[in-house]
Amino acid sequence: MPENQNTQNAQTAQATDQIRRSDEEWRAQLSSEEYAVLRQAGTERPWTGEYVDTKTTGVYRCRACGAELFRSDTKFDSHCGWPSFWSPMAGDKVRLLEDRSFGTVRTEVRCARCDSHLGHVFEGEGYGTPTDQRFCINSVSLTLEPDEAAGTA
C-alpha cells in the first residue's frame, strides 16, 4: 500500500475514534463541576482535587471519554495544588493550544479524543523531570485506573 494511503487510513481511524457530543449530552453525563472544568475550561480550586497527593500506581484517564492520558510513573509532586505530570502517555493523547485568557499566554492541555479541557502545561520551571515540563491537570478532569498488582504506595 502506498505511504500516502497508509497516512490517510491512519487519519481516518483517528478521526473516527474522536468523540463528539452535544452540549446537552455532556451536561447529562457530567456533574456540574466536571462540566465547568471539562467543557467550559474552568479550574478546580488548588489543593481540593482527589488526585493531588495520590501515589497509586496506574493510568489516569479522561473523565469525559475514558481515553488513557497519563501514567502514574510520570506524576510528580510540584507543590502547586494540582496533580502534575512530566509527560502524557503519548504525544497524540493530548492537544496543546495557545491560551490568552487572564491577560497572559499559557498552553492549554485538551484531550485529543473528546476535546475536553484538562489543564495547562508549563516549561522551564526547574523541576528535575526528564522533560522540564509540568502538565498541571485538574483532578476533576481525570479518573485513575489502578494497576491490578501494584496497589498503592
The distance of Cα 80 from the centroid of its chain, to the nearest Å, equals 16
DSSP 3-state assignment of 17? helix
The distance in angstroms from the start CA to the end CA of the chain is 48
| 65 part of the active site | no
Residue with cell 495520590: 54
Of 62, 65, 111, 136, which is the active-site residue?
Answer: 136
DSSP string spanning 19-54? ----HHHHHHHS-HHHHHHHTT---PPTT-STTSS-
Report, as residue numbers or ranges, the catalytic residues. Answer: 136
